[in-house]
Structure 1
């Protein structure tokens, strides 16, 4: 099963088990089934609860927040995560605040799905990874899809939080198989964190969201074969609040596709520093994309986005001095 199919299957299971759940978004109804076909078949099976909306991300998210406030549950599809900027007011000033600003806790069961990331030649306004802009908002939890986390379990966890959540889905993962990792690595999943390792004490630990995990694993393989550097990779399903049991390590790296400055990686580094400063050989190292808009041309896009070679180079230079 590929990642897109896993998400689609999860949504079908959720809609079947929860009669109060609605799905909203642009072109989410059949026969289109969403820009990336994640909602395929839902409107046919659950007419009346899958709502194709006008082109207004602010309105879509506001309606979902209203459904959540009235006791229902809602999942929103933002066609491209870049356009979540248009829904930012609803998330910052209404949905996240509604959990606690009325004097007692109000359950707000809503998920905003955001396809993000480059690698498809979609250009500057359809290829961004805007995760950092949502970090640190009280009452708003952030998740990211990965090939190692079952979509149904992640959706159920988000809805069980009873607070607004944003699920980032890197578009390049949609066609990738679930649970696949190349030899000699193995993957285990516990407490919402996937760990890709060789099964022996590593030279460094890498923390990365699901969208860049396959690039990091490729770099881990080349580091092992060419430099004899062994790495462990931690892939959390929940990005924020970040609560991952990072094993003590001399060197820790955080890899993300977003640009530098006020990033999720900086938040992770702050927490790792506080917990493991005595065991670290130096500061946590951040690896990210270039400070640039994302070009449409494939060869220029590769130069801007963080990739296997950049991860390999930064880790080699840090560990080898």
Structure 2
């Protein structure tokens, strides 16, 4: 059966999560088609056509899709859904907003946040904050799936030569309207795509200390700067820096956790990192159970020393 991947994009280019979703789709077998729904999205369409393994790119270009409103994008997906046995979304905030609408309209059970494809009808997904893996088999005619991007390697962004087909954009549903968007801009890598992530926890004690201790380390390594939920709740770091089950799921090449005890909620968001370094003065801290390297030390002296040594 052919797999439809819903591209995550900004109209000019595709976002990295799309590449990981294409890799997951390839494990099902069959042709891979990518839907680019947007406005003046020729740049994103060209980028999608260049992805290795993609056979066809379907472009729906219209004003109704300009702000990626979930009601309109879901309607666009449903307009072509009958041709596909699988519809794959990245498990991003955007994908999680649209996929349930599509699944409900198709009257099928959504398969959420998959981390593995065992066969064309059987998938793996984490449960209990990642402490167990469920194997889920679906007999639905159309399988609506969201993909945890960090669990799959990214497909090559170049080398493909997919054919491009244009379809008519759906009309505006009138159910919602775009009011505004407030974006956090930073020179640092975005957490979910950063190759190195450093995170601080509640032990830092204040927003001032968080900035004073963690920022130099992130700057030195060119890393994304994250935080535990406890640190975010205490106001030490902004909400979009939270790493964990209810924050962002990361799997960088290197993850450094300073002053983070390692609650289950946090471990669920970072334990797939390739190398984990933990700095904590509590020898019983759970973070040490998943760390490749652990340093039992006071972070206020250890982190500055590490910065000097780099």
Given the two structures, how large is their TM-score scaled by the length of structure 2?
A: 0.31
If each structure's helix is expressed as a fraction of its own residues, which one has the higher value? 1
Larger Rg: 2
If each structure's strand is expressed as a fraction of its own residues, which one has the higher value? 2
Given the two structures, how large is their TM-score scaled by the length of structure 1?
A: 0.30
